[in-house]
């Protein structure tokens, strides 16, 4: 499931667009308020540049679609769609942008001293100039933690979002995969700690 934050000062316009999103984007959840406990895959902002700039600080790892016209340079992570726009074009942009990091197969993610190449399933350490081969599941774990950025992700959330399991299921799948992932990376780079364990879950070491 992809989580979309939709921000608009017009209740009527927001209601109309959210209905279209729910109708044509199956499996998406649309929210109209910021919630720090939710990992948003993308945001759609209606004609409010200040909201875009504020959201860029909060969801730095996710794309933003801005509906309207502006002379401000909002950066590469913001896609500007001028009004009026065709619904089909807007929905296409939403589908292509949503969950960018979780579903991208050829992009590269950079954090700390690492570069994750999703297509090659490799993790490159820029300090030691070493490569670690990863499994598809290990790539998915790193991508999800990357998207969460500084938020601690619980074991149940990883089970639900990465494995598709019932989060109430009793299993050591997450712990086992993260343990093996750490072992694999530390074998090439002794002392490195790519995933940090917190009381409530895990987060990527940025």
Q: What is the mean pLDDT of the chain?
A: 84
Q: Which one of 3.20.20.105, 1.10.3720.10, 3.40.50.970, 3.40.50.2300 gives the CATH number of domain 2-102?
A: 3.40.50.2300
Q: Which of 190, 206, 196 is nearest to 130 (CA)?
A: 190
Which pLDDT tens digit goes with each residue over 78-95? 889 999 999 889 988 888
Which pLDDT does position 61 carry in this prediction? 67
Domains in the chain: boundaries:
2-102, 105-204
Contacts within 8 Å (CB) and 24+ apart, 129-138: 130/188, 130/189, 131/188, 132/184, 132/185, 132/188, 132/189, 134/181, 134/184, 137/162, 137/163, 137/177, 138/177, 138/180, 138/181, 138/184
pLDDT of residue 51: 93
CATH number at 105-204:
1.10.10.10
Q: What is the pTM of this model?
A: 0.62
Q: Which residue has the tokens 């401000």?
A: 72
Work out whether strand 195-198 and strand 130-133 pair parallel, antiparallel, or are unpaired.
unpaired
* Residue pLDDT, tens place only, 50-88: 999 999 888 876 789 999 988 888 887 788 999 999 988
pLDDT tens-digit readout, 123-165: 988 888 888 999 989 998 998 888 887 789 999 889 888 888 7
* Res. 111 pLDDT band, cuts 50 70 90: confident
Rounded Cα–Cα distance for residues 163 and 156 (Å): 10
């Amino acid at each position: 499931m992809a989580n979309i934050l939709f921000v608009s000062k017009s209740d009527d316009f927001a209601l109309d667009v959210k209905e279209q999103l729910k109708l044509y984007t199956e499996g998406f959840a649309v929210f109209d308020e910021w919630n720090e406990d939710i990992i948003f895959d993308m945001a759609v902002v209606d004609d409010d540049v200040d909201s875009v700039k504020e959201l860029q600080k909060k969801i730095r790892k996710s794309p933003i679609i801005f509906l309207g016209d502006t002379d401000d340079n909002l950066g590469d992570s913001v896609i500007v769609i001028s009004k009026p726009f065709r619904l089909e074009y807007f929905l296409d942009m939403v589908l292509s942008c949503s969950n960018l990091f979780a579903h991208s197969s050829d992009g590269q993610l950079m954090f700390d001293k690492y570069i994750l190449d999703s297509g090659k399933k490799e993790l490159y350490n820029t300090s030691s100039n070493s490569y670690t081969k990863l499994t598809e599941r290990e790539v998915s774990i790193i991508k999800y933690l990357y998207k969460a950025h500084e938020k601690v992700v619980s074991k149940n959330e990883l089970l639900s979002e990465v494995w598709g399991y019932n989060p109430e299921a009793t299993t050591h799948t997450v712990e086992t995969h993260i343990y093996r992932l750490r072992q694999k990376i530390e074998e090439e780079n002794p002392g490195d700690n790519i995933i940090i364990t917190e009381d409530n879950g895990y987060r990527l070491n940025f």
